[in-house]
Structure 1
Amino acid sequence: MVARSMIKEEKKSSKPKMKSLKTRVQRIKADMGKIREDQKCIREEQRDIGEKFGDVRRQCHDLRLETQMIVKQSTFNRIRLSIMFNILRARQDGDFDKAAAFSGYLTSISDRRKS
């Protein structure tokens, strides 16, 4: 009889352990499912951020090119204004040969710029 009661006690004590083990496993599986979903969301957000970063890089490159074009145009305009000023100064001084030379130079650089 003692042996039978010990076996019954072992069975009784092992059932709650199995039951708690099953609930733990179920809880862990549920947690793993939540973690998978969170990781999926994180991956999607990283992908979106990567795309946005790529867009920002392209915009930065475009702005850099546009800025370079503006600087070149500004430099060209400054040169043209300087030549025009020299033409005016030569005309004021009565040096029409010099004024004509500057006018020809202004025309030639303007023609080169257009083509």
Structure 2
Amino acid sequence: MRGLSRLRPSKPKYNTTWDPQPVLAFVAGMQTPDLKGLSRKLATLFVLATGQRLQTISLIKVSGIQRSEDGLRIFIPDFLKTSGVNRPQPVLKIPFFDNANLCLARTVEAYLDATRNEEGF
């Protein structure tokens, strides 16, 4: 059993790594004049920037979003699949970026402004 690791060395699970650059280039060039385009851009940036599960993103509430000088903090108070007895609930910290086209925090603020009148917030 000693020489087994030399006969069959461990291999990575995947041979290639996904490159997000084409997606980021597409998102940076997106024009978002309507709510549908803004929603798509927001969802794409959220998934890429946070790496959170879809369940976590679906539980974000407007009341759980706090703005600060350096970005946004989003609190998730609901029970998640990854929640545990002595585990803290996730807090997403989203900083402001120089590139406004790829800034998730600015996109969240634009989405909240666009939906404020429609949803009565």
- Whether the TM-score (by the shorter chain) exceeds 0.5 is no
Whose strand fraction is larger, Structure 1's or Structure 2's?
2
Structure label with greater radius of gyration: 1
TM-score, length of structure 2 as denominator length: 0.28
Higher relative contact order by CA 8 Å / sep ≥ 6: 1 or 2? Answer: 2
